[in-house]
Amino acid sequence: MEKQLKPKHEMMKKNQHKRLGGMGLSLEAFANAKSKDNQYNPAIIKKQRELYRNAKHVSKYKKFVKKEGEKYNTPRNISISEEELKPQVFQRSEQDEGELRSSKEKRRKKKVSQSLMQEYEKKRQEEEKARAEREAIAKAKREDRERVEAQRKALKEKMLKKTRSGQPVMKYRLEHLLQGIQNSSN
Average pLDDT over residues 8-35: 67
| Residue extents of the structural domains in the chain | 43-71+102-185
Lowest average pLDDT, out of 4-18, 24-38, 79-93, 169-183, goes to: 79-93
Mean pLDDT of the chain: 79
**Angle at the Cα of 138 from the Cα atoms of 133 and 141, rounded to 5 degrees:** 130
Determine the 3-state secondary structure of 169 from DSSP: coil
As a whole number of angstroms, the distance between CA 100 and CA 92 comes to: 10
Determine the 3-state secondary structure of 162 from DSSP: strand
Q: Are 18 and 24 in contact (CB under 8 A)?
A: yes
pLDDT at 124: 93
The reported pTM is: 0.34
Alpha helix positions (H), 24-169: 27-33, 42-72, 82-90, 94-159
Whether residue 63 is predicted with pLDDT greater than 80 in this model: the reply is: yes
Residue 31 or residue 181, greater confidence: 181
